[in-house]
């Protein structure tokens, strides 16, 4: 990569506190753009516009993500005095629709947890760990990256809360239910002590903690053993189920935003589609005019 793009990535890490996954995505998108048109700090408007052809086979969401990375880079390049113009107007701007989240039904959740609890009925560390993992995914709505990187010090002691570091390094307090606390206690009782690790879910490989990919695999394998479609289940689907089922139970959208760690309420509002029937019933039962008879 060019020195300019490396400097941009360094700025994202130092000044904006971008997460490792975010930096990796920016690095990948910028590197691919440079492979196509050369040094981005020197690329002219026509060269930047030619990226639309390079991206023609990609999904609109992928094109939008790549274009966003380049727009931010060009803004940085102008601020640094490396460019006097902004060629980002030549980038494609596809319209994207936020996809509706996949949601597990209550019966699917019950089957998944029944299988996990059956397998963890003994003292097998792997089974007990998996139960603790899914209890935190569904019981507290953690992101996969937040869950696997939890430090050992995050385990609740005096209060049923854990401090989670989310996107952009933002921290939030997340409640931990009785079931999850019990599962965590069982995991700590069988958690390997050697080699010593500061992470709640240490890895036996080169990584310091369980990887997101391995978590994904473990959940898919559990789903298959529970008689569920593995393709329909992932750590993020369990997070969606947490949000959806809380909303169904009457949770306030602002509270849900806080629990999920969403910076913008519009991100949380996507969950309202799953509970349209409840909202209609609420209007019909609570609106001042609902009890008045309609005129002939």
Catalytic residue numbers read 143, 167, 236, 239, 262, 271
Q: Cite the DSSP H helix spans in 201-234.
A: 212-225
What DSSP state is assigned to residue 43? -
d(CA 9, CA 195): 34
Question: By the 8 A CB rule, do 190 and 202 touch?
Answer: no
Enumerate the β-bridge partners of residue 173.
163
Give 144's contacts (C-beta < 8 A, 6+ positions apart): 137, 212, 215, 216, 235, 236, 239
Question: By the 8 A CB rule, do 8 and 30 touch?
Answer: yes
Distances from the Cα of 296 to the Cα of 181, 200, 290, 293, angstroms: 58, 66, 16, 9
Closest by alpha carbon to 131, among 112, 154, 158, 103?
Answer: 112
- CA distance between the termini of the chain: 74
């Amino acid at each position: 990569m060019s020195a300019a793009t490396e400097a941009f990535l360094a700025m994202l890490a130092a000044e904006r506190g971008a997460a490792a996954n975010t930096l990796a995505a920016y690095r990948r998108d910028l590197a691919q753009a440079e492979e196509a048109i050369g040094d981005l700090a020197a690329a002219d408007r026509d060269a930047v516009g030619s990226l639309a052809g390079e991206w023609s086979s990609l999904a609109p969401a992928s094109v939008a993500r790549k274009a966003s990375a380049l727009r931010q880079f060009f803004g940085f390049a102008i601020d640094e005095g490396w460019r006097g113009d902004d060629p980002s107007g030549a980038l494609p701007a596809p319209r994207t629709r936020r996809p509706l989240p996949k949601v597990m039904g209550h019966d699917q959740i019950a089957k998944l947890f029944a299988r996990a609890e059956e397998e963890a009925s003994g003292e097998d560390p792997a089974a007990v760990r998996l139960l603790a993992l899914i209890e935190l995914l569904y019981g507290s709505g953690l992101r996969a990256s937040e869950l696997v990187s939890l430090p050992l010090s995050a385990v609740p002691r005096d209060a049923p809360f854990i401090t989670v570091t989310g996107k952009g390094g933002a921290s939030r307090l997340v409640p931990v239910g009785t079931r999850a606390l019990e599962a965590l206690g069982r995991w700590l009782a069988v958690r390997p002590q050697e080699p010593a690790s500061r992470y709640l879910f240490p890895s036996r490989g080169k990584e310091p903690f369980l990887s997101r990919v391995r978590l994904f695999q473990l959940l898919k394998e559990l789903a298959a053993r529970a008689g569920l479609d593995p393709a329909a289940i992932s750590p993020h689907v369990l997070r969606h189920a947490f949000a959806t089922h809380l909303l169904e139970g009457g949770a306030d959208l602002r509270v849900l935003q806080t629990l999920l760690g969403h910076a913008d309420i519009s991100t949380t509002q996507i969950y309202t589609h799953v509970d349209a029937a409840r909202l209609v019933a609420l209007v019909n039962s609570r609106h001042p005019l609902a009890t008045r008879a309609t005129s002939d």
